[in-house]
Structure 1
Amino acid sequence: MKKMIFTLITACLLTFNFQGYASAESQQVAPQRVNLSDAQKQELDKLHQELFTTKKELINKYVEYGVFTKEQGDMMIQKMNERYQKLKENGFMMRWHHHQGKMLHPQKTN
């Protein structure tokens, strides 16, 4: 009888603990609005350019080795350039949750 009561109490305690974790996961923290300085933007621009240069080299190697066609490689590089331009237009503020239809810093419309 003591084992059954102990098991029941343990199960209840575990259930309450898991519910606490589940409710904490659903809470979202509002992102802070950060204004980058020109120096910070220049540094980020330099890093992104280095990153994109390396990615372009990688794509070209895959094209050279026959993994991608020339057209596929060109399309990937074009999409990458478009993403870079969009990032530059947004002041190098990345939109981390774009796949959920939410913007990190929604634009105000007047």
Structure 2
Amino acid sequence: MKKMVISWTVVMLLSMGAVQNTFAHMEDEGINQVELTEEQKQEISGLVNDIMEKKKELINKYVEFGVISEEKGERIISKFDQHYNKLEENGFVPNWDKHKEKYKHKKCEKQNN
């Protein structure tokens, strides 16, 4: 039983190291360094517009049925519009690196403990 517990602990520690190395490798790759062509931007813009319209329709139904208030619905729709504008500014390439700093700080905190 003791060997099994020790083996399990070693496996867990090794797998945690592998996961950290994977994330570190992803950070180094520069995932967001892509430039889309105008055709690709138009295609993604159309898809995003369709999705945003459906989301807005859903929020409006929630408002209509009284699930959320009209003010909250307007705030949510405003956030959708802000998200679309941000995507448009970035050439429709999502900025997945925005949380990278938060994870780096958590990683440092864990290493210091």
Shorter-normalised TM range: 0.7 to 0.9
Amino acid at match of 1:86: K
Q: Which residue of 2 aligns with 1:25?
A: 19
For structure 1, list consecutive stretches of 5 or more residues without a partner in the other structure: 1-6, 103-110
Cα displacement string for residues 46-100 of structure 1 (whole angstroms, at most 9, x for unaligned residues): 0000000000100110111011122211111111101110110011111224345
Q: Which residue of 2 aligns with 1:89?
A: 89
Question: Percentage identity across aligned positions?
Answer: 36
Tell me which structure has the larger Cα radius of gyration: 1
Q: Which residue of 2 aligns with 1:47?
A: 47
Counting matched residue pairs gives 96
Given the two structures, how large is their TM-score scaled by the length of structure 1?
0.74
**Separation (CA, whole Å) in 1 of partners of 2:101 and 2:40:** 27
For structure 2, list consecutive stretches of 5 or more residues without a partner in the other structure: 103-113
Distance 1:10 1:72, change over 3 A: closer
**Separation (CA, whole Å) in 2 of partners of 1:65 and 1:89:** 35
Higher RCO, 1 or 2 (CA under 8 Å, sep at least 6)?
Answer: 2
Amino acid at match of 2:51: L
Q: Which residue of 2 aligns with 1:64?
A: 64
Q: Which residue of 2 aligns with 1:34?
A: 34
Given the two structures, how large is their TM-score scaled by the length of structure 2?
0.73
Q: Cα RMSD over matched residues?
A: 1.9
